Protein backbone atom coordinates (compact mmCIF):
# COMPACT_ATOMS: atom_id res chain seq x y z
CA UNK A 1 0.00 0.00 0.00
CA UNK A 2 0.97 3.63 -0.35
CA UNK A 3 0.43 5.49 2.91
CA UNK A 4 0.71 9.28 3.20
CA UNK A 5 1.21 10.65 6.72
CA UNK A 6 1.08 14.34 7.64
CA UNK A 7 2.64 14.82 11.05
CA UNK A 8 4.67 11.68 10.49
CA UNK A 9 7.60 12.79 12.65
CA UNK A 10 5.61 13.09 15.88
CA UNK A 11 4.74 10.94 18.88
CA UNK A 12 2.22 8.86 16.92
CA UNK A 13 3.25 9.47 13.32
CA UNK A 14 6.87 8.40 13.65
CA UNK A 15 6.22 4.84 14.96
CA UNK A 16 3.26 4.52 12.56
CA UNK A 17 5.49 5.29 9.58
CA UNK A 18 8.10 2.87 10.90
CA UNK A 19 5.73 -0.07 11.28
CA UNK A 20 4.24 0.45 7.81
CA UNK A 21 7.73 0.64 6.28
CA UNK A 22 8.84 -2.52 8.09
CA UNK A 23 5.94 -4.35 6.47
CA UNK A 24 7.11 -3.28 3.02
CA UNK A 25 4.64 -0.48 2.34
CA UNK A 26 5.44 2.74 0.50
CA UNK A 27 5.29 5.48 3.15
CA UNK A 28 5.34 9.19 2.30
CA UNK A 29 5.79 11.54 5.26
CA UNK A 30 4.90 15.21 4.81
CA UNK A 31 7.37 17.36 6.74
CA UNK A 32 8.26 21.02 7.19
CA UNK A 33 11.91 19.95 7.44
CA UNK A 34 12.39 20.00 3.66
CA UNK A 35 11.70 22.60 1.00
CA UNK A 36 8.17 22.51 -0.38
CA UNK A 37 7.92 19.58 -2.79
CA UNK A 38 11.44 18.24 -2.20
CA UNK A 39 11.68 14.51 -1.48
CA UNK A 40 14.30 12.48 0.39
CA UNK A 41 14.29 8.74 1.02
CA UNK A 42 15.16 7.76 4.58
CA UNK A 43 18.23 5.48 4.51
CA UNK A 44 17.85 2.24 6.36
CA UNK A 45 14.10 1.98 5.81
CA UNK A 46 14.41 -0.32 2.80
CA UNK A 47 12.46 -0.13 -0.44
CA UNK A 48 9.99 1.36 -0.90
CA UNK A 49 10.45 2.45 2.75
CA UNK A 50 9.91 5.98 4.02
CA UNK A 51 10.21 9.01 1.77
CA UNK A 52 9.97 12.45 3.34
CA UNK A 53 8.31 15.15 1.26
CA UNK A 54 8.48 18.84 2.12
CA UNK A 55 5.29 20.84 2.53
CA UNK A 56 4.10 24.22 3.76
CA UNK A 57 0.42 23.76 4.62
CA UNK A 58 -1.26 27.07 3.81
CA UNK A 59 -4.81 25.87 3.26
CA UNK A 60 -4.15 25.10 -0.40
CA UNK A 61 -2.34 22.30 -2.27
CA UNK A 62 1.36 22.70 -3.01
CA UNK A 63 3.99 20.95 -5.14
CA UNK A 64 3.72 17.97 -2.77
CA UNK A 65 0.05 17.36 -3.58
CA UNK A 66 0.59 14.69 -6.26
CA UNK A 67 1.56 12.12 -3.60
CA UNK A 68 -2.06 11.79 -2.40
CA UNK A 69 -3.25 10.76 -5.88
CA UNK A 70 -4.30 7.09 -5.77
CA UNK A 71 -2.97 6.63 -2.23
CA UNK A 72 -4.42 3.80 -0.19
CA UNK A 73 -4.63 6.05 2.86
CA UNK A 74 -3.92 9.65 3.82
CA UNK A 75 -3.44 10.01 7.58
CA UNK A 76 -3.52 13.53 9.02
CA UNK A 77 -1.75 13.81 12.39
CA UNK A 78 -0.54 17.39 11.91
CA UNK A 79 -0.94 19.95 14.68
CA UNK A 80 1.10 21.69 17.36
CA UNK A 81 1.03 20.23 20.87
CA UNK A 82 -1.96 21.43 22.89
CA UNK A 83 -0.10 21.18 26.19
CA UNK A 84 2.94 23.31 25.31
CA UNK A 85 2.76 26.78 26.82
CA UNK A 86 0.04 29.00 28.27
CA UNK A 87 -2.91 29.68 26.00
CA UNK A 88 -2.31 33.27 25.02
CA UNK A 89 -4.29 34.62 22.04
CA UNK A 90 -1.20 34.07 19.90
CA UNK A 91 -0.83 30.48 21.13
CA UNK A 92 -4.50 29.73 20.44
CA UNK A 93 -4.10 31.07 16.90
CA UNK A 94 -1.06 28.85 16.35
CA UNK A 95 -2.90 25.77 17.65
CA UNK A 96 -5.81 26.51 15.36
CA UNK A 97 -3.77 27.33 12.25
CA UNK A 98 -1.56 24.25 12.61
CA UNK A 99 -4.67 22.06 12.47
CA UNK A 100 -7.07 23.88 10.18
CA UNK A 101 -4.57 24.90 7.49
CA UNK A 102 -2.97 21.45 7.34
CA UNK A 103 -6.37 19.77 7.04
CA UNK A 104 -7.56 22.24 4.39
CA UNK A 105 -4.39 21.67 2.37
CA UNK A 106 -4.82 17.89 2.43
CA UNK A 107 -8.53 18.04 1.60
CA UNK A 108 -7.98 20.40 -1.33
CA UNK A 109 -5.24 18.10 -2.62
CA UNK A 110 -7.56 15.10 -2.30
CA UNK A 111 -10.39 16.89 -4.11
CA UNK A 112 -8.06 17.80 -6.98
CA UNK A 113 -6.79 14.27 -7.61
CA UNK A 114 -7.71 12.15 -10.59
CA UNK A 115 -7.94 9.10 -8.32
CA UNK A 116 -8.81 10.08 -4.74
CA UNK A 117 -7.32 8.08 -1.87
CA UNK A 118 -9.41 5.25 -0.48
CA UNK A 119 -9.52 6.64 3.05
CA UNK A 120 -8.69 9.92 4.79
CA UNK A 121 -8.09 9.58 8.54
CA UNK A 122 -8.02 13.02 10.12
CA UNK A 123 -7.09 13.70 13.72
CA UNK A 124 -9.45 15.24 16.21
CA UNK A 125 -9.57 14.93 20.01
CA UNK A 126 -11.87 14.02 22.88
CA UNK A 127 -11.81 17.73 23.72
CA UNK A 128 -14.64 17.81 21.16
CA UNK A 129 -17.04 16.86 23.98
CA UNK A 130 -15.96 19.61 26.37
CA UNK A 131 -15.67 19.11 30.15
CA UNK A 132 -18.52 16.72 30.94
CA UNK A 133 -18.06 15.24 34.39
CA UNK A 134 -18.99 11.57 34.79
CA UNK A 135 -21.47 11.49 31.90
CA UNK A 136 -20.37 8.86 29.33
CA UNK A 137 -19.73 10.24 25.85
CA UNK A 138 -19.87 8.28 22.60
CA UNK A 139 -19.41 9.35 19.01
CA UNK A 140 -23.09 10.31 18.92
CA UNK A 141 -22.81 12.75 21.84
CA UNK A 142 -23.09 16.50 21.27
CA UNK A 143 -20.01 18.73 21.34
CA UNK A 144 -19.08 21.12 24.12
CA UNK A 145 -18.59 24.89 23.87
CA UNK A 146 -15.11 25.69 25.15
CA UNK A 147 -11.99 26.50 23.14
CA UNK A 148 -10.92 22.90 22.57
CA UNK A 149 -14.42 21.82 21.62
CA UNK A 150 -14.85 24.59 19.07
CA UNK A 151 -11.39 23.89 17.68
CA UNK A 152 -12.20 20.17 17.28
CA UNK A 153 -15.52 20.96 15.62
CA UNK A 154 -13.90 23.28 13.07
CA UNK A 155 -11.09 20.76 12.52
CA UNK A 156 -13.60 18.00 11.80
CA UNK A 157 -15.67 20.23 9.52
CA UNK A 158 -12.62 20.71 7.30
CA UNK A 159 -11.85 17.00 7.32
CA UNK A 160 -15.36 16.03 6.28
CA UNK A 161 -15.02 18.02 3.07
CA UNK A 162 -12.95 15.17 1.62
CA UNK A 163 -16.16 13.14 1.44
CA UNK A 164 -17.09 15.15 -1.64
CA UNK A 165 -14.22 13.49 -3.50
CA UNK A 166 -15.63 10.04 -2.80
CA UNK A 167 -13.04 9.26 -0.15
CA UNK A 168 -14.03 7.47 3.05
CA UNK A 169 -13.46 9.90 5.92
CA UNK A 170 -12.73 8.90 9.52
CA UNK A 171 -12.31 11.51 12.28
CA UNK A 172 -10.05 10.13 15.02
CA UNK A 173 -11.02 11.66 18.38
CA UNK A 174 -7.92 10.77 20.36
CA UNK A 175 -7.71 10.68 24.15
CA UNK A 176 -4.59 10.94 26.33
CA UNK A 177 -2.02 8.74 24.59
CA UNK A 178 0.22 6.83 27.00
CA UNK A 179 3.83 5.79 26.45
CA UNK A 180 6.79 6.55 28.69
CA UNK A 181 8.94 7.97 25.88
CA UNK A 182 6.73 10.99 25.25
CA UNK A 183 3.35 12.64 25.53
CA UNK A 184 1.54 13.36 28.79
CA UNK A 185 2.94 10.38 30.70
CA UNK A 186 6.54 11.47 30.24
CA UNK A 187 5.68 14.68 32.13
CA UNK A 188 3.81 12.85 34.88
CA UNK A 189 6.63 10.49 35.82
CA UNK A 190 9.22 12.87 37.42
CA UNK A 191 7.03 13.97 40.40
CA UNK A 192 6.39 10.32 41.25
CA UNK A 193 10.10 9.53 41.01
CA UNK A 194 10.65 12.25 43.62
CA UNK A 195 7.80 10.98 45.84
CA UNK A 196 5.59 14.05 45.24
CA UNK A 197 3.10 12.62 42.73
CA UNK A 198 -0.63 12.62 43.32
CA UNK A 199 -4.04 13.54 41.95
CA UNK A 200 -4.80 16.84 40.24
CA UNK A 201 -7.43 19.03 41.85
CA UNK A 202 -10.29 16.94 43.23
CA UNK A 203 -9.09 13.84 41.36
CA UNK A 204 -12.68 13.09 40.39
CA UNK A 205 -12.39 14.28 36.79
CA UNK A 206 -12.30 11.49 34.22
CA UNK A 207 -9.30 10.78 32.02
CA UNK A 208 -10.00 9.14 28.68
CA UNK A 209 -6.69 7.46 27.93
CA UNK A 210 -5.29 4.99 25.40
CA UNK A 211 -1.99 3.12 25.08
CA UNK A 212 0.04 4.32 22.10
CA UNK A 213 0.20 0.82 20.65
CA UNK A 214 -3.60 0.72 20.55
CA UNK A 215 -3.70 4.04 18.69
CA UNK A 216 -1.26 2.69 16.09
CA UNK A 217 -3.19 -0.53 15.68
CA UNK A 218 -6.52 1.27 15.59
CA UNK A 219 -5.34 3.50 12.73
CA UNK A 220 -4.13 0.47 10.81
CA UNK A 221 -7.42 -1.32 11.56
CA UNK A 222 -9.40 1.66 10.25
CA UNK A 223 -7.41 1.65 7.00
CA UNK A 224 -8.31 -2.01 6.48
CA UNK A 225 -11.96 -1.82 7.64
CA UNK A 226 -14.11 -0.09 5.00
CA UNK A 227 -17.24 -0.17 7.18
CA UNK A 228 -15.71 2.29 9.67
CA UNK A 229 -16.82 5.82 8.73
CA UNK A 230 -17.14 9.13 10.56
CA UNK A 231 -16.00 9.91 14.11
CA UNK A 232 -14.12 7.23 16.04
CA UNK A 233 -13.14 7.65 19.68
CA UNK A 234 -9.52 6.52 20.05
CA UNK A 235 -9.79 5.80 23.78
CA UNK A 236 -9.58 2.68 25.91
CA UNK A 237 -12.95 1.16 26.86
CA UNK A 238 -12.41 1.85 30.59
CA UNK A 239 -11.74 5.54 31.31
CA UNK A 240 -10.73 6.26 34.90
CA UNK A 241 -10.80 9.19 37.28
CA UNK A 242 -7.64 11.17 37.75
CA UNK A 243 -7.32 9.71 41.27
CA UNK A 244 -7.55 6.15 39.89
CA UNK A 245 -5.05 7.02 37.16
CA UNK A 246 -2.46 8.43 39.56
CA UNK A 247 -2.85 5.42 41.87
CA UNK A 248 -2.19 3.09 38.93
CA UNK A 249 0.87 5.13 37.94
CA UNK A 250 2.13 5.09 41.53
CA UNK A 251 1.73 1.32 41.71
CA UNK A 252 3.63 0.87 38.46
CA UNK A 253 6.46 3.08 39.70
CA UNK A 254 6.29 1.72 43.27
CA UNK A 255 5.73 5.21 44.59
CA UNK A 256 2.98 6.78 46.70
CA UNK A 257 0.32 8.94 45.03
CA UNK A 258 -0.74 11.06 47.97
CA UNK A 259 0.16 14.68 47.28
CA UNK A 260 -2.55 16.48 45.29
CA UNK A 261 -1.87 19.44 43.04
CA UNK A 262 -4.39 22.10 44.17
CA UNK A 263 -6.75 23.45 41.54
CA UNK A 264 -6.12 27.12 42.38
CA UNK A 265 -2.36 26.72 41.87
CA UNK A 266 -2.82 25.05 38.50
CA UNK A 267 -5.24 27.74 37.36
CA UNK A 268 -2.81 30.44 38.44
CA UNK A 269 0.02 28.70 36.58
CA UNK A 270 -1.70 27.59 33.38
CA UNK A 271 -4.84 29.72 33.12
CA UNK A 272 -7.55 28.47 30.78
CA UNK A 273 -5.45 25.47 29.79
CA UNK A 274 -5.64 24.11 33.36
CA UNK A 275 -9.44 24.00 33.28
CA UNK A 276 -9.56 22.39 29.83
CA UNK A 277 -6.76 19.83 30.13
CA UNK A 278 -6.18 19.19 33.83
CA UNK A 279 -9.23 20.01 35.93
CA UNK A 280 -12.05 19.28 33.49
CA UNK A 281 -12.49 15.85 31.99
CA UNK A 282 -14.42 13.58 29.68
CA UNK A 283 -15.60 10.02 30.18
CA UNK A 284 -15.33 8.90 26.57
CA UNK A 285 -16.36 5.43 25.39
CA UNK A 286 -15.05 3.97 22.08
CA UNK A 287 -18.48 2.83 20.89
CA UNK A 288 -17.54 2.70 17.19
CA UNK A 289 -14.50 0.52 17.80
CA UNK A 290 -16.45 -1.77 20.11
CA UNK A 291 -19.37 -2.16 17.69
CA UNK A 292 -16.91 -3.12 14.93
CA UNK A 293 -15.17 -5.63 17.22
CA UNK A 294 -11.83 -3.85 17.49
CA UNK A 295 -9.64 -5.75 19.96
CA UNK A 296 -7.85 -3.56 22.51
CA UNK A 297 -4.49 -4.83 23.69
CA UNK A 298 -4.67 -2.58 26.75
CA UNK A 299 -8.31 -2.14 27.80
CA UNK A 300 -7.62 -1.34 31.49
CA UNK A 301 -5.26 1.15 33.09
CA UNK A 302 -3.32 -1.32 35.25
CA UNK A 303 -2.71 -3.56 32.22
CA UNK A 304 -1.48 -0.53 30.28
CA UNK A 305 0.84 0.57 33.08
CA UNK A 306 2.33 -2.91 33.35
CA UNK A 307 2.88 -2.94 29.60
CA UNK A 308 4.55 0.46 29.67
CA UNK A 309 6.78 -0.08 32.69
CA UNK A 310 7.45 -3.78 32.20
CA UNK A 311 6.07 -4.90 35.55
Q: How many CA atoms lie within 13 A of 167 on its CB side?
A: 34
Q: Give me the pLDDT at residue 256, please.
A: 73
CB–CB of 232/170 below 8 Å? yes
CB–CB of 42/50 below 8 Å? yes
CB–CB of 31/8 below 8 Å? yes
Report how many domains make up the chain: 1
Q: Give me the pLDDT at residue 242, please.
A: 87
DSSP tag of 256: -
Q: Give me the pLDDT at residue 279, please.
A: 53
Would 192 be classed as within a structural domain? no
E-only strand ranges, 117-247: 119-125, 136-137, 168-174, 176-178, 206-207, 209-211, 230-234, 240-241
Distance CA 85, CA 68 (A): 33
Would 12 be classed as within a structural domain? yes
Could you tell me the CATH number of the domain that includes residue 21? 3.40.50.720
Would 167 be classed as within a structural domain? yes
Could you tell me if residue 186 is left (phi over 0), alpha (psi between -120 and 50 degrees) or otherwise beta? alpha
Q: How many CA atoms lie within 13 A of 264 on its CB side?
A: 0
Would 258 be classed as within a structural domain? no
Q: Could you check whether the bond before residue 87 is cis, i.e. omega within 30 degrees of 0?
A: no
Would 110 be classed as within a structural domain? yes
Tens of pLDDT along the chain (311 residues)? 999 999 988 999 999 999 999 999 999 999 999 999 999 999 988 889 999 999 999 999 999 999 999 999 999 999 988 877 777 899 899 999 999 999 999 999 999 999 999 999 999 999 999 998 899 999 999 999 999 999 999 999 999 999 999 999 999 999 999 999 888 888 778 877 776 677 777 778 898 999 999 999 999 999 999 999 999 999 999 999 988 988 888 888 888 776 665 444 444 444 554 454 555 789 999 999 999 999 999 999 999 999 999 85
Q: Give me the pLDDT at residue 47, please.
A: 86
Would 103 be classed as within a structural domain? yes
Q: Give me the pLDDT at residue 265, please.
A: 42
Would 67 be classed as within a structural domain? yes
Would 39 be classed as within a structural domain? yes
Containing structural domain, residue 23: 2-175+209-235+285-296
Amino acid sequence: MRIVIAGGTGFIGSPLAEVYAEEGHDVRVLTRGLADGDARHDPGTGKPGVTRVGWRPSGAPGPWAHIVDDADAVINLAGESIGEGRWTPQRKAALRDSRILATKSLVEAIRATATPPRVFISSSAVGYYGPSGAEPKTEDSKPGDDFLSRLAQDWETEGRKAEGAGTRVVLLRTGIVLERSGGALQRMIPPFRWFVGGPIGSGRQYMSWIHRLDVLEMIRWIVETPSVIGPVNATAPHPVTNREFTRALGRALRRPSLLPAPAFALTAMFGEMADALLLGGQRVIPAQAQSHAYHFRYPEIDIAMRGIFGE
